[in-house]
Amino acid sequence: MSDSTRDQYARGHARASIDAAWQPRCAPSVQSVPRPLKPWLDEPGSLTRRLRGLCGGGFNVRVAREGWRIPAVSESLSLGLRLSATGWVREVLLRCDGQPLVFARTVMPAAILRGHYRALRHLGRRPLGSLLFGRDTIRRGPLTVARLEPPHRLHDRARALTGVDDAVWARRSVFHVGTKPILVTEVFLPELVSRLQQEGAH
CATH class name, domain 3-201 = alpha beta
What pLDDT does residue 9 have? 45
Model confidence band, residue 156 (pLDDT cutoffs 50, 70, 90): very high
Domain ranges of the chain: 3-201
What pLDDT does residue 190 have? 96
What pLDDT does residue 200 have? 67
What pLDDT does residue 106 have? 95
Model confidence band, residue 10 (pLDDT cutoffs 50, 70, 90): low
DSSP assignment string, the chain: --HHHHHHHHHHHHHHHHHHH-EETTSGGGTTS-GGGHHHHT--S-HHHHHHHHHGGGEEEEEEEEEEEPPPHHHHHHHT--TT--EEEEEEEEEETTEEEEEEEEEEEGGGSSGGGGGGGG-TTS-THHHHTT-TTEEE---EEEEE-TT-HHHHHHHHHH---S-EEEEEEEEEETTEEEEEEEEE-HHHHHHHHHHHH-
What pLDDT does residue 3 have? 53
- 76 has a pLDDT exceeding 60: yes
| Average pLDDT, integer, range 189-193 | 96
- 114 has a pLDDT exceeding 60: yes
